[in-house]
């Protein structure tokens, strides 16, 4: 029996609700495939601010480092939204990304045919969507210094810094080429090279690396044009690689191509000190304060994030595919979470969906 140790960080809002369903599905899977999962849970985000005064404690980071993988829900909420506060829930996820060295955020966006009518776009436009967005996660304007605000001459002033090093660009771009190589072999590198020096350097480095991947077609796109093309012709894209903030924005946009944000998982990977892959898995959605506590959040993105954990951190491809298949079967059987139900149609709550998916996983498919 293989044993895996998982750090469980539910966070706030619907993060707490959906992560419980991922655990339920993992336990059902463990029973069927003879794996055991051991969870070490801790508070992060607003919950940790309330209990300890900080969004992420050093102990929590250490605990995560000692596990085989991290499952993360979501952080934030109106209670901690004061823009003047120096302690904010988002510091938890940023601290984990930086502290664990998770430089590569993998966000697959694949339209499930059964959901082709659930997006605000036309069926013909989204039907064939199947792309992976690789977002750089530990550099750029999220982490550049200086970052501060001050008062000067009776005016408020603020600065953020967008900085990248060659090494930071190279490792994510290489992963982009490797990913494209295993797929349709088209890599779209997204930047703002008509304006930004960081982007011009990004382009230059990407061109140099391209020489090692003659079998992959490389193209560059400006981020504004790419935002438009994602709506105009989304099925064109195969692998997109981009810097931190462009990736943040484009993946929210791309999530609408897959029906709902409630469907999209993500993996954040880095190399641990011993060379092994360290991974944190989280849905791309947030804490959804408007529906938190009602038991109606869609747990699928969180459950699919657990599937990515099985694939990337534990090398359990068959088990990952079993969970993905169970999600598809649950939808195919006509069950819908509230965010995917058509108006007037019945929908199922978080627990009921988790239970159906867990039962399908346990029964074998």
- Looking at the annotation, which residues are catalytic? 142, 192, 224, 248, 252
Interface region with ligand IPM, contact rule CB under 6 A, candidates 11-19, 87-95, 221-229, 356-364: 87-95
Cβ closest to ligand IPM, residue 209 vs residue 280: 280
Q: Smallest distance from the beta carbon of 76 to ligand IPM, in angstroms?
A: 6
User: Choosing among ligand IPM, Mg ion, none, which partner's interface includes residue 254 (Cβ < 5 to 8 Å by kind)?
Assistant: none
Q: Smallest distance from the beta carbon of 260 to Mg ion, in angstroms?
A: 15
What mask of x and - would describe binding to ligand IPM in positions 100 to 139, judged by CB under 6 A? ----------------------------------------
Nearest by Cα to 312 from 251, 254, 356, 268: 268
Nearest by Cα to 29 from 318, 351, 337: 318
By the 10 Å C-beta count (0-12 exposed, 13-18 middle, 19+ buried), 334 is classed as exposed
Q: Smallest distance from the beta carbon of 355 to Mg ion, in angstroms?
A: 29
Q: Considering the rule CB under 6 A, would residue 209 count as an interface residue with ligand IPM?
A: no
Q: Considering the rule CB under 6 A, would residue 93 count as an interface residue with ligand IPM?
A: yes
What mask of x and - would describe binding to ligand IPM in positions 241 to 280, judged by CB under 6 A? -------x--------------------------------
Q: Considering the rule CB under 6 A, would residue 357 count as an interface residue with ligand IPM?
A: no
User: Choosing among ligand IPM, Mg ion, none, which partner's interface includes residue 93 (Cβ < 5 to 8 Å by kind)?
Assistant: ligand IPM
CA–CA distance, 83 with 362 (Å, rounded to integer): 46
Q: Considering the rule CB under 6 A, would residue 240 count as an interface residue with ligand IPM?
A: no
CA–CA distance, 258 with 274 (Å, rounded to integer): 36
| Lookup: tokens for 85 | 């506060």
Q: Which of 130, 248, 351, 359 binds Mg ion (CB under 5 A)?
A: 248
Q: Smallest distance from the beta carbon of 153 to ligand IPM, in angstroms?
A: 32
Peptide bond into 138 cis (omega under 30): no
Q: Considering the rule CB under 6 A, would residue 27 count as an interface residue with ligand IPM?
A: no
Query: Residue 61 — φ and ψ, nearest 5°?
Result: -60, -45
Q: Considering the rule CB under 6 A, would residue 301 count as an interface residue with ligand IPM?
A: no
Interface region with ligand IPM, contact rule CB under 6 A, candidates 41-49, 89-97, 294-302, 318-326: 89-97
Residues that bind Mg ion (CB under 5 A): 248
Residues that bind ligand IPM (CB under 6 A): 90, 93-94, 248, 284
């Amino acid at each position: 029996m293989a044993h895996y140790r998982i750090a469980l960080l539910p966070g706030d809002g619907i993060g707490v609700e959906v992560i419980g369903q991922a655990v339920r599905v993992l336990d059902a899977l463990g029973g069927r495939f003879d794996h055991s999962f051991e969870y070490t849970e801790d508070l992060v985000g607003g919950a940790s601010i309330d209990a300890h005064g900080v969004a992420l404690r050093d102990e929590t980071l250490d605990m995560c480092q000692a596990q085989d993988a991290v499952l993360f829900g979501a952080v934030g909420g109106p209670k901690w939204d004061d823009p003047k506060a120096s302690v904010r829930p988002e510091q938890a996820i940023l601290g984990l990304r930086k502290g664990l060295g998770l430089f590569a955020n993998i966000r697959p966006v694949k339209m499930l045919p059964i959901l082709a009518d659930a997006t605000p776009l036309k069926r013909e436009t989204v039907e064939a969507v199947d792309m992976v967005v690789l977002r750089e996660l530990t550099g750029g304007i999220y982490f550049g210094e200086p970052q501060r605000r001050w008062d000067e001459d009776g005016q408020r002033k603020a600065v953020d810094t967008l900085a990248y090093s060659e090494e930071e660009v190279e490792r994510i771009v290489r992963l982009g080429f490797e990913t494209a190589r295993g797929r349709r072999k088209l890599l779209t590198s997204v930047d703002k090279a008509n304006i930004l020096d960081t982007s011009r350097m990004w382009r230059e480095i990407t061109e140099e690396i391209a020489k090692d991947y003659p079998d992959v077609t490389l193209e560059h796109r400006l981020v504004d044009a790419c935002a438009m093309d994602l709506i105009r012709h989304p099925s064109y894209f195969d692998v997109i690689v981009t810097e931190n903030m462009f990736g943040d924005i484009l993946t929210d946009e791309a999530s609408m191509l897959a029906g709902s944000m409630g469907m999209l998982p993500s993996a954040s990977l880095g190399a641990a000190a011993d060379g092994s892959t360290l991974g944190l898995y989280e849905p791309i959605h947030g804490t959804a304060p408007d529906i938190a506590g009602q038991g109606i959040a869609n747990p699928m993105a969180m459950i699919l994030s657990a599937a990515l954990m099985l694939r990337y951190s534990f090398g359990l491809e068959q088990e990952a595919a079993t969970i993905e298949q169970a999600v598809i079967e649950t939808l195919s059987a006509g069950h819908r979470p509230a965010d995917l139900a058509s108006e007037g149609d019945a929908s199922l709550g978080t627990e009921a969906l988790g239970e159906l998916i867990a039962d399908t996983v346990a029964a074998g498919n």
